[in-house]
Amino acid sequence: MPTTPVLEFRDIARSFRRGEPVLSNVSFSLAREEVVALLGRNGSGKTTLIQIAMGMLFPHAGTVRVFGMSPTDEPVAVKKRIGYVAEQQILPSRSTIPDLMAFHRYLFPTWDVALERSLLSRFGLSGNSSRMSHLSKGQARQVALICAVAHRPELLILDEPAGGLDPAARREFLETSIQLLNREGTAILFSSHHMSDVERLGGRVVLLDEGKVRIDDDLDALRESYCIAVIPRYAAHAITTIEQLPECLKVHQQYTDWHAVFRGTPQSVQALLHDTFGLKHLQCATVPLEELFIELVGGERTAEAL
Amino acid sequence: MRRNLPSFIAVLFSIFGALSLVVVPRLAAEQALLFFIVIYGAIPRRGSIFEASLPIRGREIVAARVLWILALVWLPIVAWLIATVGSELRALPVAMVLDAGAVLTLAVLLPCAIRPEQVDEPPVWLTALLWIALAAPSVAVARFLPPVVSMATFAVAIVVTARWIWIRVPGSLEVAPRKTLKEKPSNLARSLSTIEPAASGRAWKPLLLALFQGGKNASGNQSYSILIWYALFLILGLTNENSFVALIYLMLPLSMARQGTRWLTAFPISNRARLWCVLVPGVFIALGCVGLGGLVSSTFFRNRMSMSANAPEGSHYRDDLTRVPLEFWHRATGEPVIRAPWGETAMADTLSVLRVELQNPYTTNVGNSPRFVEWQLHRATTAVYGLPMTIAVYRSRKAASTLPPKAISSQRMQILNVMTLIGIALLLAFLVELSQRYWFEGNRLSNYIVQSFFALFLLSPIAVDWIYAKYPMSSVTRSIVEAALLRVSAFLPASLLALTIISALPAIAIYAMLQWQFDRADSVEPRRSESRVGRFLARPAPFFRTS
Amino acid sequence: MHLLINPGDDLPIYRQIMRQVMDAIAGGRLTAGERLASHRELSEQLVIAPLTVKKAYDELEALGYIESQRGRGTFVNARLPKVSRAVRDSQLLDAARSLLSQAYLAGLRYADVLKVLADANHDLTDEPTRTRRKES
């Protein structure tokens, strides 16, 4: 039974300077209870995409729909059901924590005070009535998380939420998100650089590279159906042909050898390379997410770097 | 180095202040004061954390900044002194200007004397308090002591403060420890008891506070600097009859309010509410302060001015009686000759403003008869005050300071003035929104173009005033506006209510346009590179070598 | 049921869960008919996504190790699946080859490998008995 996706991007394009698109042709969607991890290098357009989802930026092309509505046309109806943690601290610095909580309570009709209290005590912030500017960065993040989560949103958007948090705080962040996912069926869109967090939250991975969607796949499929093959120096003549293979995603030079990212299991890729080019005994393996990420979007590295 | 628009404008105004002191001293006398205040509307900073981490001695960092601001203060004064050496253009006594310079120097130095070992400057309220505490004694010293003694007093104060700072600033500036509150057990009980929904007043407290938090102080933290602008606007209202001058400075509270309310876009607040969150602190309260100042000044310092007080000087007058302000002049058609019903004539005074010939229809020449003068005064007072007066009545009332309010201050005119002010302010806000828009999918107008445009837009009235500044106190642009409003007022219905509604229509239309554009604008600002000109102007020159 | 997962491991998380559940069943720590933690409980306990738990359980169920009963939970199957002998032998052969290759590279000999196997067997099956011996 098809239901309205919670969040839907269709052919989103956006630029800040003529001729330099920050996002082009970005399309994917998020259904209820789904988790999507938005990965990409710094400056690849993740925050821009998230801001478009929140209605803070207008896309120059394409459409964005949240709960079936446009976030720029109906900001109030949409934002009431979203929990948002921004990359930079945006909460007013001179408000105290209790004042902020009261403010949110007023704006969000579904605010759950018991949940607010329990989260405050779990993060060790009960009874803390200092101003936001007097809190440490991690504590401020935690307050932002409570503000985003305590009204039981249907969509949680986290823009690098764990930046600057110590590992224990990061774990608490994850726990809270997972609890929300379990108990409310909240869909989660988050961007993060901590691959272990991405692995834990599971779901799909959308990889942005220079504003385009490079990969939109299930996390486990990424782990198991993508592999890296090392093409040694003596086979360098075959590189251009290898690049054009449909299963090959990227080839780049790594010191004196070449790395090729393939879609397929190591066995099938080894067989493919053997059949097509007669290359034998090539190193080919699945790699953890972090390595795959670096291989796909990392920069060129040659031996003369230093 | 932050918020280049205010720094840029501040420097621009200091330059204009210098020029205006030189060129048009009488006109600029009161505006210059405001220029000087604007210069350190950007409160003097001691140094950034970045600088504190460099191998530069603490004293040098502080000195560099302080000297830069003092240069902005003293440059115009010195320029003025040199330019007007020996000439009669020196409308202000030298001693007064030097005293003003000394007071400003103290105002810059004193905040640096508080906790001089820290990189951060003291909080805004403390600085404001300090300045207020400085104001009264300095006015007293300047007024009541003979010039030499007062200069000496100020000089001593400056030297003592500077020395105190110099001694106390350490080799390396510290960063203030972050204030944290210890958790009190009583707070725990209090927070547990806030299960019931809070009173809505408390809920809106963060919003209300944040509305006024748009300014950034030097350390880049949000601060209530917009309040300083409200104080300045109040002073403007008190000292200046021309409230349109406030529009020139309105850019700053407006941009502060825009900055300070950006965080609201993440919340379920309608676009209209967000726009009002910008307009109320940025436009309406600012203009309200000007209005309040004007109200106070007209209530307490009731200065019923004679007709000729703001009038252009002419050459044909028999005596000062029938010179009227520019807004009551008529368009010149053909020969500037005034003909009385019985045939007596006079040559009218003419003035060419922006290629339009204007003439004073109430001029009296030296050779005219008393009857003619009486007739002209009758006509002039009817036009200006709304009731005819004879020479004797006029003179006696002028002597007793019981002249009635001018036509331009009538209630009708006040309403029209307010509506025009609001309309132009909203237009300004609209232009600001427009200038931040992304045109053609990808380009925003460059910073240079935007800043130049606004500088032009806002400074052209001042420029016009300079060119035609042939008389003190009033301004040509204001006269033009008042004259237009007088004509409009003649067309509109008599009832005040109808007048209000009709005159509000343009402002409402502009507001609708503004709201429309605001709905379609991005609400976040991507990281933009600072304008090179602004960065250059805001950076103190590297006076000191790093050790 | 005490599981330990490592997000940075070579194996995806769901496979780690599968491996540990299968080890527990093999070692007798999970007995037939015992109830496993629900998706939600396990996800909150390990701080992982519930879908990952679901995937692990689904795979285990497909392999025949566990069985999920609507409304009542997930239970260990009473009868372990019968893997065909050929598949089983080839799987074991691969694992054995890998073990021997590792050992020979480290300089061990066949006799040492047998000792290591015995120790591993102890760990897998005899843990309860080992603790009992300590107590007595």
Kindly write down the DSSP assignment for every residue of A101-166, as one continuous string: HHHHHHH-TT--HHHHHHHHHHTT-TT---BGGGS-HHHHHHHHHHHHHTT--SEEEEESTTTT--
Please give the CATH superfamily to which domain A7-210 belongs: P-loop containing nucleotide triphosphate hydrolases (3.40.50.300)
Spatial contact of B296 and B227, defined as CB atoms under 8 Å apart: no
The residues pairing with A83 across neighbouring beta strands, listed in sequence order, are A156
- The number of C-beta contacts closer than 8 angstroms across A and B is 137
Confidence of residue B226 (pLDDT cuts 50, 70, 90): confident
For residue B455, give both structure tokens: 């500088």
Cβ within 8 Å of C, A 215-254: 219-220, 223-224
Nearest residue on chain A to B208, judged by CA atoms? A95
CA distance B186 to A183: 33
Domain identity same for C66 and C101: no
Q: Which helix (H) or strand (E) holds A208?
A: strand A204-209
CATH number for the domain formed by residue range(s) A225-297:
3.30.70
Our CA-based measurement puts residue C89 at a distance from the nearest CA of chain A, in whole angstroms, of: 20
Q: Report chain C's C-alpha Rg in angstroms.
A: 17
C-chain residues near A35 (CB < 8 A): 49, 51
Residue-by-residue pLDDT tens, chain A, 306 positions = 567 899 999 999 998 877 788 899 999 999 998 999 999 888 788 999 999 999 999 999 999 999 999 999 999 999 999 999 988 878 887 788 988 898 898 889 999 999 999 999 988 888 888 888 888 888 888 899 999 999 999 999 999 888 778 888 888 888 989 998 888 889 999 998 888 889 888 789 999 988 889 889 888 888 888 888 888 888 878 888 888 888 888 888 878 888 888 888 888 888 888 888 888 778 888 888 888 888 888 765 444 444
Q: Which residues contact A192 (CB under 8 A, 6 or more apart)?
A: A37, A39, A158, A160, A161, A162, A198
Chain A residue with CA closest to B176: the answer is: A134
The alpha helices in B319-446, defined as continuous H runs, are 370-385, 391-399, 411-435
- Residue given tokens 């944290």 in the structure block: B180
User: Structural domain boundaries of chain B?
Assistant: 4-168, 207-301+409-538, 307-404
Residues C119 and C95 in one domain: yes
**Contact B268/A113, CB-based, under 8 Å?**
no
Query: What would the two tokens of residue B427 be?
Result: 């237009």
CB B47 within 8 A of CB B65: yes
Nearest to A79 among B191, B267, B442 (CB): B267
Which of C58, C76, C94 is the C-terminal boundary of a domain? C76
- Chains A, C in contact: 3+ Cβ pairs under 8 A? yes
pLDDT 10s digits, A239-289: 888 888 888 888 888 788 888 888 888 888 888 888 888 887 788 888 888
**Residue in A101, A126, A149, A92 with CA at minimum distance from that of residue B202:** A101
CB–CB of B486/B326 below 8 Å? no
Q: Which two tokens stand for residue B231?
A: 């104080």
* Residue among B122, B3, B119 at smallest CA distance from B61: B119
SS3 A216: strand
Q: Which residues of A touch C10 (CB under 8 A)?
A: 286, 288
Question: Could you give the number of structural domains in chain C?
Answer: 2
- How far apart are alpha carbons B138 and C106 in whole angstroms? 89
Please state, in angstroms and rounded to a whole number, the distance separating the CA atoms of residues A108 and A92. 18
- Does an interface of 3+ CB pairs under 8 Å exist between B and C? no
Q: Using CA atoms, how far apart are residues A86 and A91, in angstroms rounded to an integer? A: 9
For residue A126, the chain B residue with the least C-alpha distance is: B188
Which candidate, B158, B59, B160, B176, places its Cα nearest to that of B120? B176
**Cα–Cα distance between B338 and B333 in angstroms, integer?**
11
Q: Which two structure tokens, joined as six digits, stand for B130?
A: 């300090």
What would the pLDDT profile of A205-225 be if each residue is shown by its tens digit? 999 988 889 889 888 888 888
- Helices B124-144 & B226-239 angle (0-180, nearest 10): 30
Across C41-70, average pLDDT: 90
Question: Which residues, other chains included, contact B96 with Cβ-Cβ below 8 Å and sequence gap of 6+?
Answer: B142
Does C100 share its domain with C69?
A: no
The pLDDT, as a whole number, for residue A51 is 92
Q: How far is A18 from chain B (nearest CA, A)?
A: 4
Taking 50 as the threshold, does the pLDDT of residue C80 lie above it? Answer: yes
Q: Between chains, do A203 and C51 touch, taking CB under 8 Å as contact?
A: yes
Closest CA to B490 of B361, B395, B356, B383: B383
Q: Are residues C68 and C95 in the same domain?
A: no
Our CA-based measurement puts residue A207 at a distance from the nearest CA of chain B, in whole angstroms, of 22
Q: What angle do CA A264, A267, A270 make, to 5 degrees?
A: 90
* Phi, psi for residue A37 in degrees, rounded to 5: -100, 125
C94 with C51, same domain: the answer is no
Q: From edge to edge, which strands make up the β-sheet containing B356-360? A: B330-331, B356-360, B349-353
B369's enclosing H/E stretch is none
**Chain A hits for C52, Cβ within 8 Å:** 202, 220
Residues B466 and B22: their CA atoms lie apart, in Å, by 11
Residues C56 and C110 in one domain: no
Regarding whether C67 and C89 lie in a shared domain, the answer is: no
Residue among B190, B205, B523 minimizing CB distance to A56: B523
Residue-range definition of the domain harbouring residue C99: 85-135
Whether residues A199 and C40 touch (CB distance < 8 A) is answered with no
Q: For residues A259-275, b (16+ Cβ closer than 10 Å) or e, as one string?
A: bbbbbbebeebbebbee
User: What ipTM score was computed for the predicted complex, to two decimals?
Assistant: 0.84
Q: Which residue of B has its CA nearest to A60?
A: B441
Name chain A contacts of B198, Cβ cutoff 8 Å.
Answer: 102, 105-106
Residues present in chain C in total: 136
Q: What is the pLDDT of residues B89-103, one digit of tens each?
A: 555 667 777 777 787
Looking at the structure, tell me whether residues C63 and C98 fall in a common domain. no
Q: State how far the Cα of A16 lies from the Cα of B436, in Å rounded to an integer.
A: 12
Domains of chain A, residue spans: 7-210, 225-297
Q: The domain spanning residue C22 has which CATH number?
A: 1.10.10.10
Strand-pairing partners, residue A63, are A10
pTM of the complete model: 0.77
> Which residues of B fall within a CB distance of 8 Å from A128?
181, 183, 187
B267: nearest Cα among B343, B210, B314, B311: B210
- Owner of token pair 């293979």: A245
Residues in C closer than 8 angstroms to A288, CB to CB, are 8-10
Residues C65 and C89 grouped into a single domain: no
Q: Are residues C17 and C64 in the same domain?
A: yes
